[in-house]
Amino acid sequence: MRNSIKQLVSRHPYTVTSLVFLVMVILGWQVWGWGEWRLGFMLLLYFIVTLGVRLDEISRSIGGHPGNPQSRTGDPDTVIGHLKEMKELLRRIDSKLPPPDRGDE
């Protein structure tokens, strides 16, 4: 049960976030009698949480794995591998650029 919930949240983070906020807004409006200000504040919170979900996706796509403490400090092999790849790309870019114009010295 717990794994299926984790899979659902990881596969559809925006849908789950939207459903949670939709339920909160409906309850606030119908049950607790929230006015425009509180509903507007909930909309603001929704945008902030959605931005956090997007930033989490970006973090995962560039190599961060939430819950893994070694990924936060940086795996040396991964960092060294990325640095070597960047060095090779910079070398290729540099080889394609014309030499700098020195002008009159």
Dist CA 88 CA 82 (whole Å): 10
Q: Are 13 and 53 in contact (CB under 8 A)?
A: yes
Write out the chain's pLDDT in tens, 105 residues.
778 877 877 778 888 888 888 898 888 888 888 888 888 898 899 999 889 888 888 887 787 555 554 444 555 677 888 888 889 999 999 888 888 777 665
**Euclidean distance between the first and the last CA atom of the chain, given in angstroms as a whole number:** 74
What pLDDT, on a 0 to 100 scale, did the predictor assign at position 87?
92
Would you list the domain boundaries of the chain? 2-96
DSSP string, 3-16: HHHHHHHHH-HHHH
Answer yes or no: pTM beyond 0.85: no
Dist CA 11 CA 15 (whole Å): 9
**Cα dihedral 53/56/58/63 (nearest 10):** -160
DSSP string, 24-38: HHHHHHHTS---HHH
What pLDDT, on a 0 to 100 scale, did the predictor assign at position 39?
87
